[in-house]
DNA sequence: TTTTCAATGTCGGAT
DNA sequence: ATCCGACGTTGAAAA
């Protein structure tokens, strides 16, 4: 990080001065972090109030603002990118107003005590590379349709229907049309319905036509299974962990 | 915050020593934050790699670990609560291994340069109070069904069917059964399907029975509207912003 | 811009 | 523990 400026245990005036100098008036974008005791109000899609407590506030370069409590993955309050933060003293509290004009939302964070504040220019041009998403599973099936069943031919990917995009479309060994819907994690009721709708759509104007629907997913709850049955649809167990590579178990044991 | 200890620009050995003393061996749970240049690997439900860049790592009291880039609301890598962090030097890198045994997942963060590291005991017992969630809208309709239409009577909330819980159930002014599905934000295709399934379920064994289905939502896309039409279902515009209180616009204008 | 759908979704509640 | 649905979901891709 090119520059990291910070204050340890500053007063509210000192904090405001620091933020104005290091973030607001800085020629380069900076990420701001504040640790301290604060209260949070939010108004927008909903409305919320969070009483005093010790938290971490981060205001990012793109306006994203998040407030983290000492536990939990999700920020307790936030504004997404595109928001704008302004800083001021209000009733002897260091207050950050984060306004998202486009979304018509705003959040106000008021600190009565600041343990630490710091501003950093962060250089990060890397983007995370992920393997194991739905796209990868679809790729794998395209490549080798026999993974689903012998004789299966895939002819289209992301085939359009009136009700959305079909993941995979093709014909089985008896030339019966097959619709395949892929889910990377446990099958849901909604996935079953989605598949059903695709099949129904394709049958339009030819109601007695035989069209198979297959839901490919690593796991399926009882209820979803019943639903598929009711709709005359099928299910294939298909998890990327077994298909894409199978070294997960051993390497996890290392710890 | 009772205690906030920190180091500015420490070396990797110094960092490890600090973390062991302040976090691992601390009798009280602490939240750890590290700013610096790191690389991240993840393996579990999927697999990912993130090349060098300047980021913020937070390891919370409950094991939650998140890595934030200088923009975006979502952590670029993370582990949810229940994970456990261990700290070590590896190839002259300060490395944090976060392992989630239950989920069979792990994440490794390696720092080559640390700008700042600090550990804080955070006291936060407050929980956010939110108004404007689906529950609140359902409450409002329960209280005054006329908001939906004159003569409507609600008799059941969270009525069970074979395919799930119906938000609201009752009878209209002509004693026709009505199923109401509430969505706090824009209606989705899946919501329309859900409602349809509820109505179908209730008709079971009495297929010609008239049962109305109403989707209550503040906004509905064209396609969902068509779907509802196809299924013989209805839609009522119902946004909590107008119904629960109506001072949002004026107060947002203040900024 | 709007719509649609995936996500290492996370989280809470109910069974 | 599994299952189910909401979320101030966010984010990306396509229309």
Provide the CATH topology of domain A4-120: Protein Yojf; Chain: A; (2.70.180)
Per the model's pLDDT, the better-predicted residue between A248 and B114 turns out to be B114
The three-state secondary structure class of B141 is helix
Query: Could you give the angle at which helices B222-231 and B189-203 cross, rounded to 10 degrees?
Result: 10
- Tokens read off for B249: 């616009």
Please name the residues in contact with A216: beta carbons below 8 A apart, sequence gap of 6 or more: A137, A141, A148, A180, A181, A182, A183, A235, A236, A238
A176 touches strand D (CB under 7 A): no
Per the model's pLDDT, the better-predicted residue between B80 and A238 turns out to be B80
Domain boundaries, chain A: 4-120, 134-243
d(CA A164, CA A154): 18
CB contact under 8 A, B130 and A35: no
The predicted-structure confidence for A89-127, as pLDDT tens digits, reads as follows 999 999 999 999 999 999 999 999 999 999 999 999 999
d(CA B141, CA B238): 10
For residue A131, the chain B residue with the least C-alpha distance is B47
Confidence bin at B12 (pLDDT 50/70/90): very high
Best mutation target, A9, A71, A99, to test chain B (most B CBs within 10 A): A71
Q: What is the pLDDT of residue B243?
A: 60
Q: What is the DSSP letter of A246?
A: -
Per the model's pLDDT, the better-predicted residue between B254 and B43 turns out to be B43
Structural contact between residues A85 and A97, judged by C-beta atoms closer than 8 angstroms: yes
CB contact under 8 A, A124 and B72: no
The predicted-structure confidence for B51-106, as pLDDT tens digits, reads as follows 999 999 999 999 999 999 999 999 999 999 999 999 999 999 999 999 999 999 99
CB contact under 8 A, A54 and B104: no
Confidence bin at B242 (pLDDT 50/70/90): low
CA–centroid distance for A40 within its chain: 24
Structural contact between residues A25 and A18, judged by C-beta atoms closer than 8 angstroms: no
CA–centroid distance for B36 within its chain: 28
The predicted-structure confidence for A186-234, as pLDDT tens digits, reads as follows 999 999 999 998 998 888 767 788 999 999 999 999 999 999 999 999 9
Gap from A221 CA to D2 C1', Å: 9
Looking up tokens 């983290």 gives A68
The predicted-structure confidence for A118-169, as pLDDT tens digits, reads as follows 999 999 999 999 999 999 999 999 999 999 999 999 999 988 887 788 999 9
A48 touches strand C (CB under 7 A): no
Cβ-count burial of B214 within 10 angstroms (0-12 exposed, 13-18 middle, 19+ buried)? buried
Closest CA to B217 of B124, B110, B141: B141
- Statement: residue B252 has pLDDT above 80: no
The predicted-structure confidence for B205-229, as pLDDT tens digits, reads as follows 677 889 999 999 999 999 999 999 9
Give the global pTM: 0.94
Rama region for A185: left / alpha / beta (φ>0; ψ in -120 to 50; rest) = beta
- Statement: residue A247 has pLDDT above 80: no
Work out whether the CA dihedral B18, B88, B116, A33 comes out positive or negative.
Answer: negative
What backbone torsions phi and psi does residue A46 show, to the nearest 5 degrees?
A: -140, -160
Provide the CATH topology of domain A134-243: Trna Endonuclease; Chain: A, domain 1 (3.40.1350)
pLDDT > 70: percent of chain B: 93
Q: What is the pLDDT of residue A200?
A: 87
- Tokens read off for B182: 């509430």
In the beta sheet, which residues pair with residue A217? Answer: A237
CB contact under 8 A, B6 and A132: no
Residue B68 touches partner A, C-beta closer than 8 Å: yes
């Amino acid at each position: 990080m090119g520059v990291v400026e910070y204050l340890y245990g500053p007063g509210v005036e000192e904090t405001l001065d620091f933020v104005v100098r290091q973030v607001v008036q800085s020629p380069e974008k900076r990420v701001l972090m504040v640790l301290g005791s604060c209260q949070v109000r939010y108004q927008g899609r909903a409305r919320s109030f969070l009483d005093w407590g010790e938290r971490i506030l981060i205001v990012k370069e793109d306006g994203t603002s998040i407030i983290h409590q000492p536990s939990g993955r999700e920020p307790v309050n936030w504004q997404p990118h595109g928001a704008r933060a302004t800083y001021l003293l209000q009733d002897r509290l260091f207050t950050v107003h984060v306004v998202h004009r486009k979304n018509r939302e705003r959040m106000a964070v008021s600190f009565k005590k600041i343990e630490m504040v710091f501003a950093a220019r962060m250089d990060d041009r890397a983007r995370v590379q992920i393997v194991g998403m739905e796209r990868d599973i679809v790729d794998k099936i395209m490549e080798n349709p026999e993974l689903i069943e012998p004789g299966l031919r895939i002819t289209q990917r992301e085939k359009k229907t009136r009700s959305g995009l079909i993941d995979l479309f093709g014909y089985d060994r008896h030339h019966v049309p097959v619709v395949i819907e892929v889910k990377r994690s446990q099958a849901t009721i909604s996935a079953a319905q989605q598949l059903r709708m695709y099949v129904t759509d394709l049958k339009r104007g030819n109601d007695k036509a035989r069209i198979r629907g297959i839901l490919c997913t690593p796991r399926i709850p009882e209820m979803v299974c019943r639903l598929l049955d009711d709709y005359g649809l099928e299910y294939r167990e298909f998890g990327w962990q077994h298909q894409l590579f199978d070294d997960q178990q051993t390497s996890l044991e290392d710890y």
